[in-house]
């Protein structure tokens, strides 16, 4: 029997795409809130003996956790053979160190919760910085899918004369991979320190890129401050208005509107988090990973 | 060293009262949300080697869970001798059975999460219905504190000629206990079935109570539908406008306004959940239970 996919609220489109790509059934899962704010979860499809795959992206995670946890626990109660999680965006990965006394590594605490109720997890480009591998904090098998191939393909198909730009040194490897896949050049914005308080960010070799379309790529757009700063540097250097591409379009508060107002040509994002900027589908990258994790034929 | 108390957001008043009653230090715990919706938790007081007591009532629990879980996890990381939870209102206790296929007993799943990170828990009047004891679902030591003595005392001090009324048969024992403590009579509204579709709720011995002040007591006021119906029955029977007393004033949406508009004289609640109707303090009932659980002198 093939695995069965269930969407947590907001993940219906991604789940339908994964179902179409894998040929696996999409089951019916009811999730609602009681008036008092408690969550109610009910399976309307039979899960006994089946490999259950829950699709739940984890932007704004606090509110999403409990229904997801109940859905996994109930699938286990109902006799599911296994319960896997597809989290196109994985939460709490940026709290990966103790910066001040009295803090904790919440990435590890969150990983313990997820590892306690799921049998495996697949995610896209988690923010691996001080943790180098999810296995450092997750005790269940995990699979990381890279969004770069989808972004490269989108750039190659949609952008004339692209120049991929990494907004800071942390994004260097990431931007280089995207550019390589798109067959285009790549630069990373450079910090030039002139003194203790005099730091300028500059675009290297500006002259060379005046007839290219700048494409600023970053993994997470939350407040979008990094991107907005990069847009400013690119414009100041005299390049044309840039495109912005984000893997995970969190866009907190007015971040998206602020970015749109900052002088961009337009903004595109992967559909790891549902957002009006979604233009780059990632389901086809997830599907083979799901097939591997469930051990079923795709 | 005495235990140290920390308030999760919204529990500052209760924590200050418990600190005053116990003589225990109230520590400083920072909890905030990042723009992207993730929670940040930091201890500003030393917890190493100390018994940590977190105060976190659990109305609207989904949003509250993650900060509470992180606070407990971080206290453990920081070397706390133990981490206890005071949850004046305990969530998810009403999901204590499977009513339809595909559902789960979320009370047990929630208990597993709490038991996984706390060493003990104290709560007030959890909704024990099909579970008869918290030990059926909680694997950590728990202590249940009854609010009845505080309610009885409040009624005796504030209500002339009280008549305690239980709104339905489920509330009978509870109402009887409150009435006993207040030294006043008690009745429970009776369902009289005249046929399949003809059920009337009546006030027994109406004549006898015309000069009493009706006091409707219930454990949880969520949508307040039960209380509002009871107010209607009491008024229909010709009794004076009743007082309403709730242990846990959840009051979802417009429930409180609806209750106030239903013909009540006024509404009072225990301060297990912060609400404008709070009139009955319960900290003095909690303090001895905390002293017992921590094994320290109160």
Answer yes or no: do A60 and B102 touch at CB < 8 A.
no
- Rounded mean pLDDT, B23-47: 97
Answer yes or no: do B102 and A69 touch at CB < 8 A.
no
Q: Are residues B125 and B204 in the same domain?
A: no
Chosen from B6, B45, B62, B77 to mutate, greatest number of chain A CBs within 10 A: B62
Q: Are residues A268 and A165 in the same domain?
A: yes
In this predicted structure, what is the pLDDT of residue B205? 86
Q: Are residues A95 and A126 in the same domain?
A: yes
Tokens 């965006």 belong to residue: A89
In this predicted structure, what is the pLDDT of residue B171? 84
* Nearest Cα residue in chain B from A116: B113
Answer yes or no: do B59 and A37 touch at CB < 8 A.
yes
The answer to whether B155 and B182 have CB atoms below 8 angstroms apart is yes
In this predicted structure, what is the pLDDT of residue A296? 61
Chain B hits for A34, CB-CB cut-off 8 Å, are: 222, 252
For residue B44, pLDDT beyond 90? yes
Higher-pLDDT residue of B140, A168:
B140
Please give the mean pLDDT across all residues of chain B. Answer: 94
Q: How many domains does chain A have?
A: 2
Q: Are residues A141 and A266 in the same domain?
A: no
Q: Are residues B188 and B44 in the same domain?
A: no
Chain A hits for B116, CB-CB cut-off 8 Å, are: 116
For residue B24, pLDDT beyond 90? yes
DSSP conformation letters of chain A: ---EEEEPTT-HHHHHHHHHHH--EE--EEEEE-TTS-EEEEE-S--TTSEEEEE---SSHHHHHHHHHHHHHHHHHTT-SEEEEEESS-TTTT--S--STT---HHHHHHHHHHTT-SEEEEES---SS--SGGGT--S-EEEEPSHHHHHHHHHHH-SSEEEEESSGGGHHHHHHHHHHHT--EEE-EEEEEETTEEEEE-TTGGGGTTSEEEEEEEEESS-HHHHHHHHHHHHTTPPPPEEEEEEE---TTHHHHHHTTT-SEEEEETTS--TTEEE--HHHHHHHHHHHHTS--
Q: Are residues B9 and B133 in the same domain?
A: yes
In this predicted structure, what is the pLDDT of residue B298? 44
Q: What is the dihedral of CA B9, A106, A9, A268, to 10 degrees?
A: 110
For residue B195, pLDDT beyond 80? no
Answer yes or no: do A36 and B222 touch at CB < 8 A.
yes
Q: Are residues B98 and B169 in the same domain?
A: no
For residue B271, pLDDT beyond 50? yes
CA of B81 to nearest chain A CA: how many angstroms apart?
15
Chain B hits for A250, CB-CB cut-off 8 Å, are: 36
Q: Are residues B141 and B18 in the same domain?
A: yes
Query: Which positions of chain A have pLDDT values less than 70?
Result: 296-298
Which of A53-67, B58-72, B82-96, B164-178 shows the lowest per-residue confidence on average (mean pLDDT)?
B164-178
For residue B254, pLDDT beyond 60? yes
* Nearest Cα residue in chain A from B43: A102
Residue A240 Ramachandran class (φ > 0 left, ψ -120 to 50 alpha, else beta): beta
Backbone φ, ψ for residue A71 (5° rounding): -60, -40
CA of B109 to nearest chain A CA: how many angstroms apart?
7
Answer yes or no: do A69 and B109 touch at CB < 8 A.
yes
Chain A hits for B103, CB-CB cut-off 8 Å, are: 41-42, 74
Chosen from A98, A106, A137 to mutate, greatest number of chain B CBs within 10 A: A106
In this predicted structure, what is the pLDDT of residue A298? 45
The answer to whether A101 and A107 have CB atoms below 8 angstroms apart is no
In this predicted structure, what is the pLDDT of residue B111? 98
Structural domain range at position B19: 4-146+282-294
Q: Are residues A270 and A180 in the same domain?
A: yes
The answer to whether B223 and B234 have CB atoms below 8 angstroms apart is no
In this predicted structure, what is the pLDDT of residue A131? 87
ipTM, interface predicted TM-score of the complex: 0.94
Q: Are residues A120 and A212 in the same domain?
A: no
How many CB pairs below 8 Å do chains A and B form together?
133
Q: The CATH number of the domain where A220 resides is what?
A: 3.40.50.2020
Q: What tens digit of pLDDT does each residue of B9-22 get?
A: 999 999 999 999 99
Residues in CB range of B236: below 8 A, 6 or more apart? none
Chosen from B63, B105, B109, B253 to mutate, greatest number of chain A CBs within 10 A: B109
Q: Are residues A40 and A138 in the same domain?
A: yes
Chain A hits for B219, CB-CB cut-off 8 Å, are: none
- Rounded mean pLDDT, B87-111: 96
Q: Are residues A157 and A77 in the same domain?
A: no
């Amino acid at each position: 029997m093939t695995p069965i996919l269930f969407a947590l609220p907001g993940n219906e489109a991604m789940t339908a795409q994964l179902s179409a790509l894998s040929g696996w059934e999409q089951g019916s899962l009811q999730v609602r809130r009681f008036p008092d704010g408690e969550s109610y979860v009910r399976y309307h499809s039979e899960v006994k003996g089946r490999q259950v795959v829950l699709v739940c992206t984890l932007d704004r995670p606090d509110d999403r956790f409990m229904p997801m946890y109940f859905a996994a626990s109930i699938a286990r109660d109902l006799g599911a053979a296994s319960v896997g999680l597809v989290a196109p965006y994985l939460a709490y990965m940026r709290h990966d160190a103790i910066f001040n006394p009295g803090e904790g590594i919440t990435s590890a605490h969150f990983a313990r919760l997820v590892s306690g109720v799921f049998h495996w997890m697949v995610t896209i480009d988690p923010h691996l910085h001080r943790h180098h591998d999810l296995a450092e904090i997750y005790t269940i098998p995990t699979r990381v899918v890279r969004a770069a191939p989808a972004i490269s393909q989108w750039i190659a198909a949609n952008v004339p004369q692209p120049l991929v730009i990494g907004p800071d040194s942390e994004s260097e490897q990431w931007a280089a991979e995207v550019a390589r896949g798109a067959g285009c050049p790549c630069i990373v914005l450079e910090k030039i320190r002139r003194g203790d308080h005099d730091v300028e960010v500059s675009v290297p070799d500006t002259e060379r890129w005046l007839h290219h379309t700048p494409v600023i790529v970053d993994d997470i757009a939350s407040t979008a401050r990094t991107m907005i700063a990069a847009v400013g540097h690119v414009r100041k250097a005299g390049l044309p208005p840039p495109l912005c591409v984000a893997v995970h379009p969190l866009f907190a508060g007015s971040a998206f509107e602020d970015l749109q107002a900052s002088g961009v040509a337009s903004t595109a994002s992967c559909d790891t988090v549902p957002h009006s900027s979604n233009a780059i589908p990632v389901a086809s990258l997830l599907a083979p990973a799901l097939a591997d994790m469930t051990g079923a034929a795709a």
